[in-house]
Amino acid sequence: MDEQPQLAAGVLARLARIEALRAAGPASELLVELRALVPEAEAWARSEGDARAAAAVAKLRVETKE
């Protein structure tokens, strides 16, 4: 089974939760979601094989460590 659609759907769902938390959620929960996004986005970027996706994930990884 092709996992790309599942990976993309997972990333999009997490991004929706992050957006909702940005609007009205506690910062601690937002940070948890952002950190959980990193490995999901990495898996998605690997499955896509896209250099821009990989660069975006690398940037996200750095920003969530700050």
* pLDDT above 90: residue 27: yes
Whether 36 and 14 have beta carbons less than 8 Å apart is answered as yes
Q: How many domains does the chain fold into?
A: 1
Q: Stretch 32-48: mean pLDDT, rounded? A: 89
Sequence-distant (6+) residues with CB within 8 A of 34 are: 18, 60, 63, 64
Position with higher pLDDT, 66 vs 55? 55
Band (66; pLDDT cuts 50, 70, 90) = low
CA distance 37 to 19: 12
Alpha helices (runs of H) in the chain, residue ranges in sequence order:
4-24, 27-48, 51-65
Whole domain around residue 22: which residue ranges? 4-65
| Mean pLDDT value across the chain | 87
Q: Stretch 33-59: mean pLDDT, rounded? A: 86
Whether 45 and 56 have beta carbons less than 8 Å apart is answered as yes
